[in-house]
Structures are given as structure tokens and as C-alpha cells.
Amino acid sequence: MAGINMVFAGFGGQGILFTGKVCAYSGLMEEKEVSWLPSYGPEMRGGTANCSVCISDEPIGSPLVLTPDALIAMNIQSYDKFIGAVVPGGVAVVDSTLVDKKTDRDDIKAFYVPATQMANDLQLQGLANIILLGKLLKETGFASMEAVEKALAKCVPPRKQHLLEPNMRAIKAGMEA
Amino acid sequence: MKGNEALGEAALRAGCRHFFGYPITPQTELSAYLSKVMPKVGGTFLQAESEIAAINMVLGAASAGVRAMTSSSSPGISLKCEGISYIAGSDLPCVIVNVQRGGPGLGGIQPSQADYWQATRAPGHGDLHAIVFAPSTVQEMVDIVFRAFDKADEYRMPSMILADGMLGQMMEPVEFPEREVHKVEKPWATNGHKGERKHNIVNSLFLQPQQLEDKVKERFARYDLVKQNEVLAEEYLTEDADIVLVAYGASSRISRSAVNSAREKGIKAGLIRPITLWPFPEKNIQAACKTAKAFLTVEMSMGQMVDDVRLAVNGARPVYFYGRTGGIIPSPAEVLGQIEEISGGVK
């Protein structure tokens, strides 16, 4: 894998930026070149949030991803905005609890995971984002499982380390979804 | 680490213990970071009542001989211009960070490079310059903070770090190598000696024209040394390039991606990335004229640095421009399109 460019998009508060950060750190754990670029400003405050993450063997040019190899969409607005931009052959992982649409594109691999519903059913409230990351991990292999676990340990704040275990369960649930 | 935070941490490691700022998107994380860390190392972090107050506090701190810094984004830098002029007129070293956003006026909050003219031509009124650095990665931001403080001290003039919202907000891996903080003797500092030595005066007011002209000329002699010794640029695939792109900061990263794509298509493209914007790397541009058939300047503005490229090329080759403004970041595909168009024309 020479590199993968990803977009994570949804509402502010769904953990979109955090998900991207875990993904970027996973690349860092494997000593790849990585970048993480958030949307910022008024759209962060209750509106839509998104971030671009690049993992590459080469120095990263533009950290702004306009045509992602992989997309996580957690609301309709994000789905509408980015689904057409996914490169042919790319991967889209959609939270189907929140997005009741399916793409008619047959040149991308789209996966519909009811992540918000699963999070509720599995007592993993608030971890729909990580469930989707698990699915993305399985479908793209952006990093190794070990790297993702290390990245989570790094990104979960020290005083919240007890949340590491449910995060790992969420990754696994996503991989099996 | 975010670019803004990296700037803050690097300033601490470069021995800066006095920071004065006023919040503005997209540079606020820099102030926020230093507000947490500065008190722990016994430094002064002060959120001033305005940008103007902050730059004048920098003037005061710098007069006392300490390493001082302020940061802001485009509209805030306009407010600081008066203070920057006084700092230059008083021959004081300091570091000013501009994490550029769209303008003019309040403009927008998304990344931009439309303050190039302000930074390189008129960071304040009067005959003056600041050394202007343009990092393009979070790691380079760190390295440049050290250099900016060192060069400001060495030449007794303000250094400006001209970043943009993209570099400030993005996270990249960063290392902080152990570095020695260069101590520069500042015998001119007004730092209090209880009357045991002749008192120093820091001042920018010279009512006698001859005295003022002498002062300014002495300063410009130092500027000449800066021009001779402190130009920095990075070249990428320029040795055999038919089309040489010139871009700094965020747009240099996009241009580099476009150069790679052009090479894959068999177009010999290269990139000159100025790291200092003032002094401008005109010799690199002139040297590139030997092989280059055309230049393409890429900026997140309506075309500002392109003036310096044209001055350096001096009519020897065509100089094209491509830019997006208002907070829009050009895509590598757009830049590649421009390269292809020019390549079709020059073949």
C-alpha cells in the first residue's frame, strides 16, 4: 500500500475528528507519513464536521482530501457531499442508522453498517464512530490491528483509559459487521 | 501535534518566556497551548485587551532584551502593523506569527496566502523589513521558530512566520530535537542596572532628518547582509525541468503533488519552494531560467508572490500564475491542469 487518503464526516459531537485522529495515529504507529486536517470554524459548532486523513509511504503533498480512497459518513449531509467524490474502486462506510440512502454507484464498494443502532445494542453508546472505523479497517487495511490498538491507547486521554476496552470491542464489532 | 501547538512548544524550547496575544481563528491553539504551558516554566503569558496592546507589549519585552513573541491571523496582523514598524524602527528583535486567513477586511476564517505583500513589502509604515519565513510542514514550523528567534536577535529586527490556516490546524508527526538556545549578547537592552552603567535608550523617534537617514541607512546595511546570508529555498526536480513551479507554504505541498503527477505524464515539471519570502530566493529563480521554458506561480491569493518571481525572471521567460482565494485551497488536479496547458503551449 503506497498510501490511502480518507475523509471522515458527520455531525459535530459524533467523534468524527477523534476517529480521524485514531486512524492517523495508527499510521504513525507503523512509521508511515501521516496528516490530519480538520474542518474548523462555525461548522464545527453543532453543524457538520469532517477531517481529511492521509497515510502514505511518501511525504504527503496536499493534506486536504478532495477525492477520498475511503469515506466514513455519519449523516445525510456528509453522505450527499462526499459519496460522489469517492474515487472509483474506493470504499464508503455509511452509518445506515442515520443515513437511509444507498448509492447507485457501482464503481465503489459501499458498506452500510447500522453503527448507531449496534452501539446501543452492544452497550457501546457513543462508539458508533469506532464501530465504523472497525469496518473501514477491515475493508481497507489502512493499518494493522495492533497499530490501531496502540493508536487508541494514545488517543484516549489518560483519565479515561477505562474506555480503551469498549473502544476495542467497538473496533471488533465493526470488523465483524 | 497541531501546527499551531507546535509553534508554541518550539517557541518555549527556543527560550521564549514572554508571549502576548489576542485570540483569533485559525491561530488560537497557539495562544491556548502557551497559556497552559508558559506558567509552568515561570514565563509570562498574557492575553492582551487587543492585538495592538499585544504587539506593544512585545515591543516592551524586547526592549528589555528577552525573547518575545506574538501571534495572530490576518486582520489581527493589520492591527499590529503600527507596533511592528516601531519595533523595526527601534531595532528590536521579536517573532510575529501570522496564520493567514482569507481577506480583505474580516474576510473569512479558512486558509489563505493573501498577506504576502503585507509581510514582504509593508509590515508597517516606513523603510523597513522583517525576515519572513514560510514553513510548509508542522516539522518545519518547529525548526523555523528556532531560526526566527536566532536571526531576529542576530540582526536586531523582527522575524515573521507566515503560515496559513491549513498549516496551523493540521496535525502531523513532529520531533523536537534537543537544541541549544543561542544566547546573543544584548548590550543595548534597557534592563536595569541601578545606575551602574550608562543608561540605554530604545527609541524610534529621530526628528533630525540627517540623523534619521543615517539610522535607516545603517539598518539597510544590515538588511543587505540578511539578503546575502539568509535566503532559504528548497528545490524539487528542477535540474531538468521545462516548467518550474514556484510556491510556498500550503500551496507548495499541493504544487509538489502536481509536479509528481506531471512527471508521471512525462512533463518535466519542478518546484522552487521559497522558505524565506523576504529575502526572496531570486538567485534560485534566475538559475532555473537556464533550463526552464516557463514558470508557474501557485498561491492562495489573486497573485502576490508572482511579482517577485517576475522581478527575478526579469522578462527572460514567461511567468504564469494560478491561484484560488477567499479560503479555497487549490487541488493538485487544478494545478496539474495548468501545467498541462502551459506544457502544450511551450512545446
Q: Which of B194, B229, B264 finishes a domain?
A: B229
Query: Are B166 and A36 within 8 A, CB to CB?
Result: no
Same-domain check for residues B267 and B341 = yes
Length of chain B: 347
**B256 lies within 8 A of chain A by CB:** yes
**B170 lies within 8 A of chain A by CB:** yes
Q: In what order do the strands lie in the sheet with B294-299?
A: B233-236, B269-274, B243-246, B294-299, B319-323
Same-domain check for residues B209 and B289 = no
**B6 lies within 8 A of chain A by CB:** no
Same-domain check for residues B221 and B242 = no
* DSSP structure string for B80-119: HHHHHHHHHHTT--EEEEEEEBS-STT--SSB--TTHHHH
Q: Quick check: is B82 in a domain?
A: yes
| Mean pLDDT in residue range B145-163 | 98
Q: Which of B161, B194, B229 finishes a domain?
A: B229
Same-domain check for residues B210 and B321 = no
Q: What's the whole-model pTM score?
A: 0.94
- Whether A43 shows a pLDDT value over 70: the answer reads no
User: CATH code at B300?
Assistant: 3.40.50.920
Least confident interval from B188-192, B241-245, B301-305: B188-192
B256: Cα within 13 Å, side-chain hemisphere: 20
The whole-number pLDDT of residue A48 equals 83
Q: Quick check: is B270 in a domain?
A: yes
The whole-number pLDDT of residue A46 equals 62
Q: Quick check: is B214 in a domain?
A: yes
Contact B236, B271 (CB under 8 A): yes
**A161 lies within 8 A of chain B by CB:** no
Which amino acid is residue B40, in one-letter code? Answer: K
Q: Quick check: is B197 in a domain?
A: no
Same-domain check for residues B19 and B152 = yes
User: CATH code at A16?
Assistant: 3.40.920.10
Contact B323, B298 (CB under 8 A): yes
| Mean pLDDT in residue range B130-146 | 97
Same-domain check for residues B252 and B307 = yes
User: CATH code at B178?
Assistant: 3.40.50.970
The number of domains in chain A is 1
- Whether A102 shows a pLDDT value over 80: the answer reads yes
Q: Quick check: is B338 in a domain?
A: yes
Q: Quick check: is B163 in a domain?
A: yes
Average pLDDT, chain B: 96
With CA atoms as reference, the chain A residue closest to B172 would be A35
**A64 lies within 8 A of chain B by CB:** yes
The whole-number pLDDT of residue A1 equals 46
With CA atoms as reference, the chain A residue closest to B260 would be A61
Same-domain check for residues B147 and B122 = yes
In this structure, are strands B68-72 and A33-38 parallel, antiparallel, or unpaired?
A: unpaired
A158: Cα within 13 Å, side-chain hemisphere: 0
Peptide bond into A166 cis (omega under 30): no
Mutate to test the interface with B, among A7, A36, A37, A65 (most CBs of B within 10 A): A37
**B181 band by pLDDT with thresholds 50, 70 and 90:** confident
Residues in A closer than 8 angstroms to B110, CB to CB, are 41
Residues in A closer than 8 angstroms to B168, CB to CB, are none
**B329 lies within 8 A of chain A by CB:** yes
Q: Quick check: is B14 in a domain?
A: yes
Q: Which of B229, B263, B290 finishes a domain?
A: B229
**A44 band by pLDDT with thresholds 50, 70 and 90:** low
Domain of A144? 3-176
| Mean pLDDT in residue range B42-56 | 97
Domain of B77? 3-182+203-229
Nearest-neighbour CA in chain A from B173: distance (Å)? 7
Query: Are B170 and A66 within 8 A, CB to CB?
Result: no
Same-domain check for residues B141 and B62 = yes
Same-domain check for residues B323 and B268 = yes
**B165 lies within 8 A of chain A by CB:** yes
The number of domains in chain B is 2
Helix/strand/coil percent split, chain B, to 5: 45, 20, 40
Query: Are A28 and B166 within 8 A, CB to CB?
Result: no
| CA–CA separation, A60 and B142 (whole Å) | 18
Query: Are B171 and A28 within 8 A, CB to CB?
Result: no
pLDDT (tens digit per residue) in A135-146: 999 999 999 999
The whole-number pLDDT of residue A40 equals 83
Q: Quick check: is B187 in a domain?
A: no
Same-domain check for residues B210 and B244 = no
**B346 band by pLDDT with thresholds 50, 70 and 90:** low
Indicate the residue of B25, B173, B254 with minimum beta-carbon distance to A61.
B254
Same-domain check for residues B10 and B98 = yes
Same-domain check for residues B21 and B162 = yes
Mutate to test the interface with B, among A58, A62, A64 (most CBs of B within 10 A): A62
